[in-house]
Structure 1
Amino acid sequence: MASLAAELGVSPTTVSNAYNRPDQLSAATRQRILAAAAARGYPGPDPTARSLRTRHAGSVGVLLTEHLSYAFEDQASVDFLAGMAEASAGADTTLTLIPAGPGTSSPADGPSLVARAAVDGFVVYSVAADDPYLEAVRGRGLPVVVCDQPTDAGLPFVGIDDVAAIQPAARALVEAGHTQIGILAIRLFREPVDGFVSPERLAEADMHVQRSRVTGALQVFHEAGITDVPVLTRHLNNAQTTHAAATELLDAHPELTAVLCTTDSMALGVLTVARERGIDVPGELSVTGFDGIQTARLRGLSTVVQPNKAKGAAAGHMLSSLIARGEAEAPEESPRRLLPTTFERGTTIAPPR
């Protein structure tokens, strides 16, 4: 910048303004500076150096509890990130994805990964209350918004009422006459747990979103006198694991006439296994999901529709507001926003066979 300034007979500040404050220069002056810089192969001020000087990175971090590829494969996560991107439109802000997926690194590596992120604040997307990555985020002293979980971290929060949200799906199965019902859930525990979960073990689950959905469904079933409800979980959430979960549940409990799932991905796994086995849905097996992703709705799945994109946008706007005010945390009255959900009946519920 200094050599460009000397060559053009202007001050280094004028060269800096050509990149950072173009409104301070005439169009002709700015164009002359940019043309000279291009001739030298100079792309502009180094963003890392600039962020050190300004203390502003121009990016927000999104802490994910999955492998990075999951953010582009799971439709609910894709919708959430689309909402985050929508919230940053026109704000000259980028998104930095920080994967804290299962098996990605040891707990000791969490602070290092988060500490290296050049961001102005964090959106924490669904982690356990005692997750080391969450503690590392807190340690940065930057604005933080939690989405989905944990709800009781004393931090700004965006989410839904998961207990109440799933209950219309559970009631639809009860009202259709089902009494032999199973539940499939994705990750209930921060540490890997795969298989059937007892009521005692369920009460200890530290991933409260899934625990709340299972608990909300069980409340409805218990009120209807249905107390023997097998609950099966898978730690990873992909096509292979959801298929395996559906297979294990139906093999262990062939008497089931309905399966309530806490995600659409699990429900799609059930539909795939049913198709492979020639099980008619809903004639022989009723199925419900949760999320309202497009793939599930196109297949007629009866599902709870949550506003994943709006959730991402709300989290992004809340974080932007905190960054603008310079608030890392608001311990006395952290903002909280709960978004509404709806139940879409679909075509996968019928009376029991």
Structure 2
Amino acid sequence: MKPTLQAVADAVGVSRSTVSNAYSRPDQLSAALRERILDAARQLGYPGPNPTARSLRRGFVGSIGVLFTSKLSYAFTDPFAVRFLAGVSGAAERHDATILLVPLPTAETEARRVVENAAVDGFCVYCVGDEQWALDVIRERGLPFVSTIARDDAGPDDRFVGIDERTAAHAVAAHVAGLGHRRVALLADTVLPDAGTGPLTLSGVHEVSNPTTHGRLAGFADAFAEVGVHWSELTILNAPGNSRAAGAAAVTTVLDRPEPPTAVLAGSDVLALGVLDALDARPAADRPSISVTGFDDIPEAAAAGLTTVRQPAEEKGRIAGELLLDPPAEPTAGHVLLPTALVVRTSTGPVPRS
């Protein structure tokens, strides 16, 4: 039978609260009495109060949760996620806190249960697709949260740290349009739930629910609309995940068209690197000349000569952690919009002549 706190109390002849104080409030006991209690606990094999239960009773866990809709390995393999989490971890260390990685199951019912049961003091909502349901569950728990999306509908007490996705995407698309490209593919991961790999038929960007993907596709489309290329003339490519392999698989579906795109604008550097992989894998004589752009400016982007949008990943994570652990006195100071920059490299060039 597993030893209990009550068994220790009976062995020493004290109350349950006295035994509990020996672990959580030692200043309330004499050194001799505390030693008697700990000695009895060791003899009985009692390990001490459950740390999670104890922390929940006192209303403080000392940990913040980071929500994302990917496998746990994503946090350790995706270059942007790694840098973002480094920033969050730095903030947690400064406040003597820990972080709990919370990958969410695909089914929303199971995902809700995960959010409801996570033993944390607050959440960083890093990458949750259509995140409104998650925010509602967190609010029901009465916990603070920080979103990494700059939300137009954020209330004065909500906290977010993000970028102007649409404006940043517009900048890189305007650069490509300025080079003369009009036959263009826009590539993103999980554009629609359960969508297959390759071209999608969408009536407009309003069909895309993921706020990050929506903002980037909208910014791309805005820039091409300004030069007379409308949504129906753009090729929308879906990748089944944010990986190089997924990006390569998606773009391969259009490379053998009689008129393949002259430019591919990807919603992330990882996907864009996959496009470059797919092009490099083809024989030189069978390789179309395609300009490629990414988004994020991960370290691998510079080595590949990738034109992209730079955003401060580690700074985003650090600020997200600080907003949770040391919230500003003025609520609107919790609305943080970070700068971005267009970085032009060799992966883009003028449209090829016919």
TM-score normalised by the shorter chain: which range applies? Answer: 0.7 to 0.9
Normalised TM-score (structure 1):
0.81
8 A Cα contact 1:60 1:93, kept in partner: yes
Which residue of the partner structure matches residue 123 of structure 1? Answer: 124
Shift of 1:119: 0.4
Normalised TM-score (structure 2):
0.81
Which residue of the partner structure matches residue 312 of structure 2? Answer: 307
Shift of 1:248: 1.3
8 A Cα contact 2:95 2:325, kept in partner: no
1:1-353 equivalences under 5 Å are: 15-16=22-23, 46-100=50-104, 104-129=105-130, 132-148=133-149, 151-154=152-155, 155-189=158-192, 191-194=193-196, 195-227=198-230, 228-252=233-257, 254-278=259-283, 284-322=289-327, 335-353=334-352
When residues 253 and 39 of structure 1 are mapped into structure 2, their CA distance, relative to the original with a 3 A threshold, is: farther
The residue type equivalent to 1:192 in the other structure is: D
The 3-state SS of whatever aligns with 1:145 is: strand
8 A Cα contact 1:188 1:208, kept in partner: no
* Identical-residue share of aligned pairs (%): 37
8 A Cα contact 2:66 2:126, kept in partner: yes
* Partner Cα distance (1:246, 1:21) in 2: 64
* Partner Cα distance (2:307, 2:52) in 1: 49
Unaligned runs of 5+ in 1: none
8 A Cα contact 1:180 1:256, kept in partner: yes
The residue type equivalent to 1:186 in the other structure is: D
Q: What do residues 272-291 of structure 1 show as CA deviations (whole Å, max 9, x unaligned)?
A: 010011359x9922111001
* Partner Cα distance (2:284, 2:334) in 1: 47
8 A Cα contact 2:67 2:102, kept in partner: yes
RMSD over equivalenced CA pairs, Å: 3.5
The 3-state SS of whatever aligns with 1:349 is: coil
8 A Cα contact 1:62 1:122, kept in partner: yes
The 3-state SS of whatever aligns with 1:118 is: coil
Q: What do residues 11-69 of structure 1 show as CA deviations (whole Å, max 9, x unaligned)?
A: 8698547xx789x99xx99xx99x97998788765412321331111100111121211
8 A Cα contact 2:187 2:266, kept in partner: yes
Shift of 1:149: 6.4
Q: What do residues 119-158 of structure 1 show as CA deviations (whole Å, max 9, x unaligned)?
A: 0011111334465433322221111111126553533111
Shift of 1:160: 0.2
Runs of 4+ in 1 over 6 A off after TM superposition: 11-14, 35-44
Q: What do residues 285-309 of structure 1 show as CA deviations (whole Å, max 9, x unaligned)?
A: 2111001111122211111111111
The 3-state SS of whatever aligns with 2:94 is: coil
The size of the alignment, in residue pairs, is 334
The 3-state SS of whatever aligns with 1:122 is: strand
The residue type equivalent to 1:343 in the other structure is: L
Unaligned runs of 5+ in 2: 13-17
8 A Cα contact 1:183 1:260, kept in partner: yes
8 A Cα contact 1:302 1:348, kept in partner: yes
The 3-state SS of whatever aligns with 1:309 is: helix
* Partner Cα distance (1:252, 1:138) in 2: 49
